[in-house]
């Protein structure tokens, strides 16, 4: 059950980034966690957000082609020769 | 001497191994940022090459007030934005995107999904999100990755920059603020809006939404 004056779900979703970034004040964090403990919908929302962040962090990398890499090393040698 | 100071000293001495190491380590991240602005992998590689040349030219003047990586990403971002202005000018989405971006206040979740004033619990979920089944497997599917990539591409540019630097490349909030030249508070607002949109797109994709599970 919720206490009167507590956070609504609509308010909670706007605080999720501050919560995950650890930027909520102590009382705001307590209200956030109190709401979360009793609300399946917000638990699911937060879980979806965490999964979204994990998926973003695991996107496949693009790599520099061997040719581009080689061109960089040549540029480096030129630069080094130029300052010797 | 810090790792960064050692690295800078090695580069200034002309240590090619040290240079090749950061070209390899930071390359994927630099390419990813460049790709936000330019239409192809090939052009993104050109931007990365220009960046390293600018880094070498500026290395003796670099004072180390921010970490070397932050400085390199900042140079890349400026070059990529310049390229982007040249190459993307004709893209049909550009105008649409700008209009979207100018709209200001945005809700993280469609307001229609919450109960209204006359309902039993105003502001509480009317249509709550459902837990995703088998999230690990489904989030790694090629189809989901394509949805994710399209969601990132569709973000307004400032939001996209914040999300890619923080959540795709894993830069810290502080580094991201320095690279983007923005305040911590603004960075968090951009990130919040970007994350909310990407989550909503994934939810639509994963929670049914018409697509095959």
Give residue B84's pLDDT: 80
Identify all chain A residues contacting B49, using CB atoms and an 8 Å cutoff. 68, 71-72, 75
Note down pLDDT in tens along chain B; length 213 residues: 688 999 999 999 999 999 999 999 999 999 999 988 888 899 999 999 999 999 999 999 999 889 999 999 999 999 999 988 776 544 445 554 554 454 445 899 999 999 999 999 999 999 999 999 999 899 999 999 999 999 998 999 899 999 999 999 999 999 999 999 999 999 999 999 999 999 999 999 998 644 443
Give the gap in angstroms from C-alpha B101 to the nearest C-alpha of chain A. Answer: 18
Mapping DSSP onto H, E and C, the string for B4-67 reads HHHHHHHHHHCCHHHHHHHHHHHHHHHHHHHHCCCCCHHHHHHHHHHHHHHHHHHHHHCCCCCC
Q: Do B56 and A49 touch (CB under 8 A)?
A: no
Give residue B92's pLDDT: 47
Please give the interface size between A and B, counted as residue pairs whose CB atoms are below 8 Å apart. Answer: 148
Identify all chain B residues contacting A35, using CB atoms and an 8 Å cutoff. none
**Do B129 and B203 meet the contact criterion of CB atoms below 8 Å apart?**
yes
The answer to whether residue B168 neighbours chain A at the CB level (below 8 Å) is yes
Give the gap in angstroms from C-alpha A29 to the nearest C-alpha of chain B. Answer: 17
For residue B114, list its beta bridge partners.
Answer: B125
Give residue B2's pLDDT: 80
């Amino acid at each position: 059950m919720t206490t009167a004056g507590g956070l609504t779900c609509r308010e909670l979703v706007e605080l999720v980034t501050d919560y995950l970034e650890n930027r909520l004040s102590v009382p705001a964090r307590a209200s956030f966690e109190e709401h979360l403990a009793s609300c399946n919908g917000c638990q699911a929302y937060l879980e979806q957000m965490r999964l979204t962040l994990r998926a973003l962090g695991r996107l496949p990398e693009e790599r520099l082609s061997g040719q581009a890499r080689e061109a960089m090393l040549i540029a480096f040698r030129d630069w080094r020769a130029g300052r010797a | 001497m810090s790792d960064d100071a050692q690295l800078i000293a090695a580069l200034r001495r002309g240590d090619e191994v040290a240079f090749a190491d950061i070209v390899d380590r930071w390359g994927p991240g630099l390419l990813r940022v460049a790709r936000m602005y330019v239409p192809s992998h090939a052009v993104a590689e050109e931007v990365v090459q220009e960046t390293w040349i600018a880094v070498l030219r500026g290395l003796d003047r670099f004072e180390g007030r921010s970490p070397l990586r932050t400085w390199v990403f900042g140079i890349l971002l400026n070059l990529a934005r310049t390229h982007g202005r040249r190459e993307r000018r004709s893209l049909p989405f550009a105008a649409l995107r700008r209009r979207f971006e100018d709209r200001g206040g945005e809700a993280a979740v469609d307001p229609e999904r919450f109960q209204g004033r006359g309902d039993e619990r105003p502001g509480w979920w009317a249509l709550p999100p459902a837990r995703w089944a088998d999230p690990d497997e489904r989030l790694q599917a090629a189809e989901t990755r394509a949805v994710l990539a399209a969601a990132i591409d569709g973000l307004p540019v400032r939001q996209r920059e914040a999300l890619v630097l923080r959540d795709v490349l894993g830069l810290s909030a502080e580094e991201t603020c320095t690279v983007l030249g923005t305040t911590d508070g603004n960075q968090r607002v951009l990130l919040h809006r970007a994350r909310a949109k990407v989550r909503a797109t994934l939810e639509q994709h994963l929670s049914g939404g018409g697509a095959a599970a």
